[in-house]
Amino acid sequence: MAEVFKNLINGKWKESSNGELMESINPANRQEVIGILQSSTAGDVEEAIQSSIDAKREWRKLGQFNRGQMLYQVANEVERNLTEIAETLTKEMGKTLPEAIGETQRGIAILRYYASEGMRKDGDVIPSSDKDALMFTKRTPLGVVGIITPWNFPVAIPIWKIAPALVYGNTVVFKPASESAVTAAKIVQCFEKAGIPKGVLNFVTGKGSVVGNTIINSKKINGITFTGSEATGKLVAKAASENGVKFQLEMGGKNPVIVLNDADVKSAVDGVISGAFKSTGQKCTASSRIIIEESIYDEFKQALIKETEKIKVDNGITEDTWMGPCASESQLNTVLDYIKIGQEEGAQLIYGGKQLKNANLADGFYVEPTIFENVASHMRIAQEEIFGPVIALIKVKDIEEAIDVANDSEYGLSASLYTTNIGAALTFIEDIESGLVRVNAESAGVELHAPFGGMKSSSTGSREQGEAAKEFYTAIKTVLIKSK
């Protein structure tokens, strides 16, 4: 019997009020249940919100230094459980074990980064026009923050939202995606074992239509941070705006990689392979549109296919596995639908494109890494986020056309350029419409202490990660004190 995971509300692990449960299954083997979770009600969420409200005063009064020290303890707890958490992530989401270990290690580093925020300044002294006055700013927490996270990074994304929310003095109601909620539960257990006070972090699992909607429509919450689909993000924005709630959205990308004729082809191919196919392409920063100067197009294409042929697709646990399954049956079907759409639109399928059903993969949600060429910029496979291991090759005559094609998207999260020409690099940095700009590096990389976020439909609100996170999780008080 798989382990049953409860909600954490007001410091207690509780069953949902309706007694309903849901299963999380292994995408590499649909017959294996990884864990059983609560399918919670709106009433459960309201209880969690009230618990956060009740806890926020004492948590704020604890002080930023002491809150930071607690995050160090959480980091130590995650580190003690690193192997178990990473293996759960692999079994529940399908990410290869090396990637899962790397993500968990990143989560530990994020916790320690924000723990150190406890010893950094929370305001500035500003000269006053009144010689007898002291004027300064002070950061103050929002209050209660609702956190809604996706299934593709079930350790890193929750931690990079929860850690700054807590160190800056907020309390949290956390809803993870159901597809990876067991992994999220194990992270929450680490907070609880580290001694987080009751009501400071509340954890509720269940359907987005119930749990998520209750969070985003609550007038008792002071901030909502969401990572997920654009459609859901728009609902968050609408509800939060109507309720006067501060919100922060990250909603994906259609990330271009430009390869110029002076690029190191091997380096560019390696970057595209890693950016497009690791995590089965299930990253918001994954490489999706590969835009290549025509004079090296054939050379690049052949090298790309040759390296793609080396990719081993398996369950993620074995040492030589390079790419695992899609995270769910619905995501597999989405990828297969887009492959069909690409062919119907007239793009040429030159590698992969099939569901893998051989004996050892038959019970999993596997698809081949897939490459299209003869792709026009207006096609759906060049415009819509697929969130799978599918890339579109687009041939252009020069850098000006390449940047025009790259910018021809409603998204603007991450973009990459491969070149040895410093002038081209500077032009790209200036003209590309993207929040993350990378030169001679894959589109999917991001530093934990650097601001994260995009332009256009990719993001709304202030940036995540690093010191930039403070802009969302706090408000500024401007204080003036007269001596007499």
Q: Which residues are tagged catalytic?
A: 250
- The CA distances from residue 266 to 38, 176, 250, 376, 428, in Å, are 48, 38, 32, 25, 21
Name the helix (H) or strand (E) containing 357: none
Helix, strand, coil percentages for the chain (3-state, nearest 5): 45, 25, 35
Nearest residue to 223 via CA among 142, 138, 141, 148 = 142
**Which pair of tokens denotes residue 470?**
């403070």
Q: How far apart are CA 34 and CA 92, in angstroms?
A: 6
Give the DSSP letter of residue 97. H
Q: How far apart are CA 351 and CA 363, in angstroms?
A: 23
Question: If you search the block for the tokens 């002080």, which residue do you land on?
Answer: 63
Residue 35 near residue 185 (C-beta atoms within 8 A): yes
Residue 357 near residue 332 (C-beta atoms within 8 A): no
Q: How far apart are CA 286 and CA 417, in angstroms?
A: 14
Residue 184 near residue 160 (C-beta atoms within 8 A): no
List of residues 6+ apart from 403 with CB closer than 8 A: 258, 427, 428, 431, 432
Strand-pair partners of 299: none
Query: By three-state DSSP, how is residue 436 classified?
Result: strand
Strand-pair partners of 439: 417
